[in-house]
Amino acid sequence: MKLLLNLVRKDFKRNPAITTALTVFLILAALLMAGGLRVAGTMISAYDGLNQKALPPDYLQIHKGEYDSAALDRFAASQDNIQDFLTVRMLTINNANIIYHGETLEKVLMDNSFVVQNQGFDYLLDMDNQIATVKDGEIGVPVYYADTLGIATGDVITLKKDDYIKELKVTTIIRDAQMNVAMTSSKRFLISPADQEVLSLHMGEWEVSFEFLLKEGVDTGILEQAYAAANLPANGVAITASLLNLFNVFSYGLVAMIIIVISLLLIFMAMLCLSFIIRATMADEQTAIGEMKAIGFPGKAIATLYQLKYQILMGVAGIIGYLGAIPFGNFFAEAVVRYCGTGSNPGLKWVLPFLGLLFLSGMVAWGCHRVVKKNLHSTVVELLQGAGGRRREGHYILPSSGFKHTNLTIALGELTCKWREYGVILLVFIFVAFLMLLPMNMKQTIQDPSFITYMGVGESDIRIDIQYSSQLTQQQERVLAVLENDPDIEKYAIYKNGYVQAENDQGEGVNIRVESGDESVFPLAYLAGQAPVGKNELALSSMNATELDKKVGDELTVVYGGETMNLTVAGIYQDITYGGKTAKAAIDFNNQDVEVYILYLSLADGVDLDLKTNELRGALPDIKATPVPSFIAQTLGGIVDNLSRVEAAAMVIALLLSALVTVMFLKLVMAREHRDIAVKKAIGFTNRDIRIQLGIRLLVIQGLGILVGTVLANTLGEGIFSLMLSSMGATRMTLLIQPLKAYLICPAIQLLVVAITVIGGTRAVKHYHIKEQIME
């Protein structure tokens, strides 16, 4: 063993650059693997812990207006699978009436409800995950606002409508298992029952949520169908636990998922590099291996000798990766801990990374063993013949008319002979380009104004919501009057939003949110068909079309206000708002059934978006005006923030990886070609010529890698992005690419990093002594 360790130590000394680069590579893979699993462990524990304490409902139905509570009680009593039932009264207050630090919450897209603590289940928890309590004059603020607006305990929230003002002191920050994440578009403030009653006399609108907790193992679908069949109050959206789970997993899990995927790809790359290095080392040491075999050194001991080094490296990388994953994982899991707490099983964040690293070590050990064993199969004679047994690389032909660009011609010629050697590094460069571009393109797409088309609307600049008032119609008329006379506004359209009942293919009734208005003002690109024309047509969001099993040309029966209508599906579009389930039809909603009036408007050229938004907010204090880019960002919640983090991390990892692999590869190539380098020097090539030739070879491969990586990021990446957003309702995404950034700046940075690494890495050519290299 001592002998083996000695040999390993000597090998480290002989190839410090390769060994260091490989170690960093393995550390990076271990760090990401352990870090991703730490985030996952923290997330599982935190999310589970929050749900155990808060007991969110399995099914809830929002309703506005009158309802028969006795009928609901009878229904709950008649269903064996219901464990508990709750009617939650929510006082929804316009954001313009909620003031914090002298500013209204108009900038915030969220709908804000003021609720009292529930009894039995669906508890709002404090930051210690205990059931939160507030006294009169106190308020519990959602952790989302603590996070995004910086609201803290001790602050004051003012509620103001006309002359009425109510101040509430923030005494607790609320964790809400149902509406915690940015992707759920409503938030709940906790107030005392007395405050809720008083407030309701002056502002806001009552909404109720009928919430059901099911017995263990009962499928939500059964209750959903039973509820619809019982003809119970349901003029709002119905939400299932699985939809909430989806939002939560998407919000909390996205980063962990991306890190783990990157780490898996990195492990794949590390395995390729390891295999390449082992093969290169063993090919160069065939004579030594032959001699060891010839003097009777057991094959197992030779295999151990060559594997030991990499196992030691993996051990070191594993320890560093595990320790490094603590701050790394904590950084990325910070949000989930803040929103959910440390949870029910804090040990998971220690165990999962450990298991992950065991898996990684196992993979490395197995990979090494396979390559070493394969290379040890040769006979002693074959091994002693050494390089003679190596695969021939073939010839390239010098140009008959002489050199125009000597180094370029030679580098390209050599590349055509040695292309097999470059397979690994080509894969790494493809991966690097892909890794850098995909998050960047995703972010670019989400931030582009045209992304609004995935929200079921054509391109526009500002969205105005008019809701939560008993005077919606009057408000709406006032808004229209302002817009009509404003020369800064190029065009606008108003849409009434309400619910109708439709029948799915099993004949069950489902509530569908319908938008009614002039669809020609902001034309939308339809996945299939076109915008509905007249009163007999409707368009469905793709999620609704799938769920109702309808395609263009099919008929759908809808019921509104007691009237049954047979509408033809004219078009199918993508929409990620309202859980992806919306429709467009010319339904003549009664004013009291309009949940919200939404206006979209386009500004004239040269009008500043933010200034105009503020101006509208000032002129129309009761409405919610949101610039479309903020609307997109807020609808997608933390995805944009997460993508920014991932984009930055991906760029650092990708560039580091490029540099590391370039160093490693250069060292191996130079070691393998030391004789050729010496010959070139002897016949008159300068060190600079040789370095340029090595550089050109790598940069050409990198160029190819960037090309393939870019194509993959735009094709495969588009698929990945569509898959990510399909759960939200957008099934066919087109990645929007900023050509300057994606096709020029990004490749230029990658090429620059590799070029600088080549300049540094080939410096050793100067020290390649012709005599020593040739006589060796």
Residue 13 engages other proteins in binding (rule: CB under 8 A): no
CA–CA dist 312, 305 (Å, integer): 11
Residue 77, class by beta-carbon neighbours within 10 Å (0-12 exposed, 13-18 middle, 19+ buried)? Answer: exposed
Among the residue ranges 338-346, 374-382, 389-397, 457-465, the one whose residues contact other proteins (CB under 8 A): 389-397
535 vs 675, beta carbon nearer other proteins: 675
Closest contact distance (angstroms) between CB of 400 and other proteins is 6
Radius of gyration of the chain (CA): 33
Q: Segment 657-676, which members bind other proteins (CB under 8 A)?
A: 675-676
Considering the complex, what minimum distance in angstroms separates the CB of residue 680 from other proteins? 7
Pick from 688, 719, 748, 763 the residue near other proteins by CB under 8 A.
688
Cα 509 to Cα 61: distance, rounded to the nearest angstrom: 14
Contact 550, 496 (CB under 8 A): no
392 binds other proteins, rule: CB under 8 A: yes
Q: Is 391 in the site for other proteins (CB under 8 A)?
A: no
CA 435/CA 425 separation, integer angstroms: 15
Q: Which stretch binds other proteins (CB under 8 A): 4-12, 50-58, 210-218, 682-690?
A: 682-690
Nearest to 204 by CA among 107, 90, 101, 87: 90
Identify the residue among 133, 311, 344, 406 touching other proteins (CB under 8 A): 406
* Closest approach of other proteins to the CB of residue 773, in Å: 9
Q: Which stretch binds other proteins (CB under 8 A): 222-230, 385-393, 707-715, 724-732?
A: 385-393
- Tokens 């197992």 -> residue: 300
Site residues (CB under 8 A) for other proteins, limited to 259-278: none
Q: Give the tokens for residue 567.
A: 């509408």
Which residue in 686, 732, 744, 752 binds other proteins (CB under 8 A)? 686
Compare residues 206 and 685 and give the one whose CB is closer to other proteins.
685
Q: Is 346 in the site for other proteins (CB under 8 A)?
A: no
* Least Å from the CB of residue 414 to other proteins: 5
Letters for 740-769 (x = contact with other proteins by CB under 8 A, - = none) are --------------------------x--x
Asked if residue 691 binds other proteins (CB under 8 A), the reply is no
3-state SS track over 322-352: HHHHHHHHHHHHHHHHHHHCCCCCCCHHHHH
Q: Of 222-230, 256-264, 522-530, 683-691, which part binds other proteins (CB under 8 A)?
A: 683-691
> Under the criterion CB under 8 A, does residue 417 sit at the interface with other proteins?
yes
Nearest distance, CB of residue 439 and other proteins, angstroms: 40
Near other proteins by CB under 8 A: residue from 68, 136, 382, 393 = 393
β 98-100/156-161 pair status: antiparallel
Minimum CB distance to other proteins, residue 284 (Å): 15
Stretch that binds other proteins, among 162-170, 212-220, 646-654, 678-686 (CB under 8 A): 678-686
Near other proteins by CB under 8 A: residue from 346, 413, 449, 703? 413
Quote the tokens at residue 723.
Answer: 């898959």
Give bridge partners of residue 556 from the DSSP assignment: 567
The neighbour count for residue 46, using CB atoms within 10 Å, is: 28
- Binding flag, residue 771, other proteins (CB under 8 A): yes
The only residue of 414, 465, 519, 622 in contact with other proteins, by rule CB under 8 A: 414
Residue 403 interacting with other proteins (CB under 8 A): yes
Q: Which stretch binds other proteins (CB under 8 A): 122-130, 311-319, 413-421, 425-433?
A: 413-421
> Which of 191-199, 419-427, 620-628, 686-694 is the region at the interface with other proteins (rule: CB under 8 A)?
686-694
Residue carrying the six token digits 């309400």: 498
Which tokens hold the place of 564?
């049954």
Residue from the set 678, 696, 713, 735 that interacts with other proteins by CB under 8 A: 678
418 binds other proteins (CB under 8 A): yes
**Which position among 395, 506, 507, 566 is part of the footprint of other proteins (CB under 8 A)?**
395
385 contributes a contact to other proteins by CB under 8 A = no
**Nearest-angstrom CA–CA distance, 463 and 632:** 10
Considering only 102, 394, 562, 618, the residue that binds other proteins (CB under 8 A) is: 394
Mark 481-494 as b/e (b = at least 16 C-beta within 10 Å).
Answer: eebeebebbeebbb
Find tokens 């490749």 and name the residue.
747
Decide whether 295 or 683 has the Cβ nearer to other proteins.
683
Residue at token pair 């789970």: 245
* CB contact at 8 A, 600 and 492: yes
For residue 689, the minimal CB distance to other proteins (Å) is 8
Binding of other proteins by 420 (CB under 8 A): no
Please give the full DSSP string across 361-429, using - where no structure is assigned. HHHHHHHHHHHHHHHT-S-HHHHHTGGGGSPP-------TT--SSHHHHHHHHHHHHHGGGGHHHHHHH
Distance (Å, whole) CA 145 – CA 178: 15
CB of 762 to other proteins, least distance (A): 14
Instruction: Pick out residues in 215-234 that bind other proteins (CB under 8 A).
Output: none
Indicate whether 396 belongs to the interface with other proteins (CB under 8 A).
yes
Q: Which residue has the tokens 């699993």?
A: 37
Q: How many residues does the chain have?
A: 776
Which residues does residue 512 pair with via DSSP β-bridges, in sequence order? Answer: 500
- Compute the Cα dihedral for 736, 741, 744, 750 and give only its sign: negative
d(CA 289, CA 300): 12
Q: Indicate which single residue of 102, 347, 402, 618 sits in contact with other proteins (rule: CB under 8 A).
A: 402
Asked whether the CA dihedral 318, 321, 324, 328 is positive or negative, the reply is negative
Residues of span 424-483 touching other proteins by CB under 8 A: none
- What torsion, rounded to 10 degrees, do the Cα atoms 178, 180, 183, 188 define? 80
Cβ proximity to other proteins: between 13 and 300 the closer is 13
407 vs 582 by CB, closer to other proteins:
407
Q: Which is nearer to other proteins, 148 or 409 (CB)?
A: 409
How far apart are the C-alpha atoms of 213 and 219, rounded to whole Å? 11
Report the candidate in 150, 145, 122, 235 with the shortest Cα–Cα distance to residue 509.
235
Between residues 74 and 688, which has the closer beta carbon with respect to other proteins? Answer: 688
679 lies in the site for other proteins, by CB under 8 A? yes
**Residues between 562 and 581 that touch other proteins (CB under 8 A):** none
Percentages (nearest 5) of helix, strand, coil residues in the chain: 55, 20, 25
Tell me if 506 contacts other proteins by CB under 8 A: no
Options 399, 523, 534, 561; binder of other proteins; rule CB under 8 A = 399
Number of residues that bind other proteins (CB under 8 A): 38
| CB-nearer residue toward other proteins: 400 or 506 | 400
Between CA 752 and CA 758 the distance in angstroms is 10
Q: Which is nearer to other proteins, 588 or 676 (CB)?
A: 676
Choose between 261 and 774: whose C-beta lies nearer to other proteins: 774
Quick check: 400 binds other proteins (CB under 8 A)?
yes
* Residue with tokens 């034309």, as numbered in its chain: 523
Neighbours of 78 (CB within 10 A): 10
Q: Could you please report the per-residue DSSP string of 233-281?
A: ---S-EEEHHHHHHHHHHHHHHHHHHHHHHHHHHHHHHHHHHHHHHHHH
Task: Give the shortest CB-737-to-other proteins separation in angstroms.
Answer: 39
Closest CA to 619 of 611, 628, 607: 611
- Tell me how far, at minimum, the Cβ of 702 lies from other proteins, in Å: 21
CB of 394 to other proteins, least distance (A): 7
Q: Which residues bind other proteins (CB under 8 A)?
A: 388, 392-403, 406, 413-414, 417-418, 675-676, 678-689, 766, 769-771, 774-775
